[in-house]
Amino acid sequence: MLKKYLYGQPIPTEAIVEDYPVSDEPLCCLAEKIDEDGHISFSAVLAEEDIVYGLGEASRGINKRGHIYECFNSDDPYHTEEKRSLYGSHNFIVVSGKTSYGVFVDCGAKVTFDIGYSDYDRLVITPSVKDFVLYIIEGDRADDIVRQFRRAIGQSYIAPFWAFGFQQSRWSYFTADDVREVVRQYRENHIPLDAVYLDIDYMEAYKDFTVSEERFPHFREFVQEMKEQGIHLVPIIDAGVKIEEGYAVYEEGKAKGYFCKRKDGTDFVAGVWPGRTHFPDFLQPEARRWFGLWYKGLLDDGIEGFWNDMNEPAMFYTEEGIAEAVAYLKAFDFSCNDSNKFFELGSRASGLANRREDYAAMYHTVNGQPVCHEQVHNLYGYYMTRAAAEAFQELVPDKKILLFSRSSYIGMHRYGGLWTGDNQSWWSHLLLNIKMMPSLNMCGFLYCGADLGGFGTNCTRDLLLRWLAFGIFTPLMRNHSAFGTRPQECYAFGDTEAFRGIISLRYRLIPYLYSEYVRACENNEMLFKPLAFDYPEDDIARHIEDQLLLSDNLMLTPVYEQNAIGRTVYLPEPMRFVLFKNAEVIHSEILPQGHHFIHVALDEVPVFIRPGHSLMLCSPAESTAALSSASSLAVTNLSFS
Ligand code: MIG
């Protein structure tokens, strides 16, 4: 049962696909409070046993209780525990325990969820604006509430089959020869691979929809050459358009009025990778179509996958921000002898990026009216991705194109997937990846994954192996690392056998994983579930955060600690424990309900099969193209009945 409550005159987000009537019943579950200036907040008492799920891409655990979250898409590569905002805003929660209900606050501006942070027994939701839609979903169980919500937001994007292959990325492979070398190493070491990513340096001066002729000569032939080796190239597209006379995207966008404006009607400017940049106004349907059609050139070159970046949108600096900082620094009085000023001094320079003042100074045009960016901030990456997806529908309707984005909002899940942005090569971020998967699924994002091995800082062999051993189950399985970090490809740590074994297991699982994934998309189900969803009566299972259910068949128990020789697992019921090494079963036994310690070496992968279920493995292959051939579909069926 879904109830809709309308506040003010919200700008439509198109997150919800069905047109629900506005409820005339009094608000249930939440108490409403209006302060003197008309701002509304909602609160509820949380009972001791209540767990709060949701918020998609957010910090901390599966149970969000005990922290405060600000849904405001943020380009922030340090996902430490105290952070309140990451790249996506997924304003949906489920309270489950004494009572159960779901809440979705639909609005493009910032929304704060204080989930037992100020007061452990209290939930307080505060939209930053007066115009929004509130949805309350009633149901007896968390999984039922999520299913209702998923139905309301429409079917999730379905990625192509090849996008379940292993993918290698780095910022950057600078030349075609760099890419060839990556492919050669993978193929020579027989580590399966389906895609290599092109980060910003494939472009000419960071101009969207250009390819550097110097570094990637004869690009179309190069795309073809890679395809012959079973490799898809996946170029990045950034949100900002370089300001440069004669650059067609800039000239057209300017002439047609498709860029975001300042209050005075001139085109808004910020500094990003290309230097001085304009931001397409993706909220205008015509601008969306225009930008989307620009992907055509790369499609014509044979490209079948894209990742959309910097679409919070990220701003390194603006002229206004620099002027303010410079004025402050110039006026700084060295003789003041106030050491507290030291902190202010530093933050003036380091605080130039993604300033709220800059977002507030940018304007969109919605139905002919200027709308301040702050009102629709969280929709920007969503609408950029929608622009691309709608263009693909128009240009190549019979083809599935891989598409995912960094910034997102609920609704974008119908157009593409997401990756969780700039994490770090930290063990804690492997655990964060594990915990985020079910939350993302609740909000409709099924094709998603983290940068395996971690993006920032230097990765180590053991961390990458453990991370891959979890990553073989995530739809997007991509190793990506930042400029300046040590090489992180699977052949960069000496011996390659363990890597080959783990990634080969992924390929043996792909037909099974892909069919479970497509089924989950079509039936509005989750691929990754907290144990609590299927074992709500088991109080230990209800609170487990480091084991996940994979559809109805499997339980995953990844190892995520440095130097661990295995881990403790909890079985809510008897299950078959299967241990893989070199993509083969090396151990299989039925374990009874309860706690167990399982040994898992660095090159091994544990899986639990639930009663009455089975796991299908096909023969190994080094690319998804090889998987599609009938001979490789000979299956091994592991079951527990
Ligand atoms: O300012 O394109 O999250 O994956 O490698 C950094 C360079 C811009 C951020 C993305 C990351 C990508 C990087 N980009």
- The alpha carbon of 170 and the centre of ligand 1 are apart by a number of angstroms equal to 9
Asked, for residue 135, whether it belongs to a domain, the answer is yes
Asked, for residue 363, whether it belongs to a domain, the answer is no
The residue whose CA is least distant from atom 12 of ligand 1 is 171
Of 153, 183, 215, the domain-final residue = 153
Asked, for residue 398, whether it belongs to a domain, the answer is no
pLDDT value at position 336?
Answer: 80
- The alpha carbon of 200 and the centre of ligand 1 are apart by a number of angstroms equal to 8
Ligand 1 atom closest to 238 (CA): 2
Residue 529, ligand 1, Cβ within 6 A = no
Residue 171, ligand 1, Cβ within 6 A = yes
Please write down the HEC assignment for all residues of 33-65.
Answer: EECCCCCEEEEEECCCCCEEEECCCCCCCCCCC
pLDDT value at position 344?
Answer: 85
Residue 199, ligand 1, Cβ within 6 A = yes
Out of 171, 354, 478, mutate this one to test ligand 1's pocket (max ligand atoms within 8 Å of CB): namely: 171
pLDDT value at position 629?
Answer: 64
Ligand 1 atom closest to 171 (CA): 5
Rounded CA separation 513/620 (Å) = 14
- The alpha carbon of 309 and the centre of ligand 1 are apart by a number of angstroms equal to 7
Residue 422, ligand 1, Cβ within 6 A = yes
Of 153, 176, 210, the domain-final residue = 153
Of 123, 153, 183, the domain-final residue = 153
- The alpha carbon of 206 and the centre of ligand 1 are apart by a number of angstroms equal to 12
Domain containing 567 — which CATH number? 2.60.40.4040
Residue 153, ligand 1, Cβ within 6 A = no
- Distance, C-alpha 343 to centroid of its chain: 33
Asked, for residue 538, whether it belongs to a domain, the answer is yes
Q: CA torsion 410→80→171→465, rounded to 10°? A: -100
Asked, for residue 486, whether it belongs to a domain, the answer is no
The residue whose CA is least distant from atom 13 of ligand 1 is 171
Rounded CA separation 195/625 (Å) = 12
Residues near 458 by beta carbon (within 8 Å), at least 6 away in sequence: 425, 485, 486
The pairing of beta strand 31-34 with beta strand 167-168: unpaired
Ligand 1 atom closest to 451 (CA): 4
Residue 421, ligand 1, Cβ within 6 A = yes
Asked, for residue 434, whether it belongs to a domain, the answer is no
CA nearest to 44, candidates 36, 54, 33, 34: 33
Ligand 1 atom closest to 316 (CA): 1
Domain containing 63 — which CATH number? 2.60.40.1760
- The alpha carbon of 120 and the centre of ligand 1 are apart by a number of angstroms equal to 37
Range of the domain at 557: 522-640
The pairing of beta strand 478-479 with beta strand 451-452: parallel
Query: What are the 10-residue block averages of pLDDT along the chain, 641 residues in total?
Result: 96 96 95 94 98 98 98 97 97 97 98 98 98 97 98 98 98 98 98 98 98 98 98 98 98 98 98 98 98 98 98 98 93 82 85 96 97 98 98 98 99 98 98 98 98 98 98 99 98 97 98 97 98 98 98 98 98 98 97 98 98 94 85 70 77
Asked, for residue 389, whether it belongs to a domain, the answer is no
Asked, for residue 395, whether it belongs to a domain, the answer is no
Ligand 1 atom closest to 200 (CA): 2
Ligand 1 atom closest to 307 (CA): 4
Q: Sheet containing 111-115: which strands, arranged edge to edge? A: 31-34, 40-45, 122-127, 111-115, 67-71
pLDDT value at position 633?
Answer: 55
The number of distinct structural domains making up the chain is 2
- The alpha carbon of 228 and the centre of ligand 1 are apart by a number of angstroms equal to 28
Tokens representing residue 612 in the block: 């009455």
| Sign of the Cα pseudo-torsion (315, 319, 325, 329, in order) | positive
Ligand 1 atom closest to 455 (CA): 4
> Residue 88 to residues 57, 209, 217, 379, 471: CA-CA distances in angstroms?
6, 25, 36, 9, 21
- The alpha carbon of 490 and the centre of ligand 1 are apart by a number of angstroms equal to 20
pLDDT value at position 490?
Answer: 98
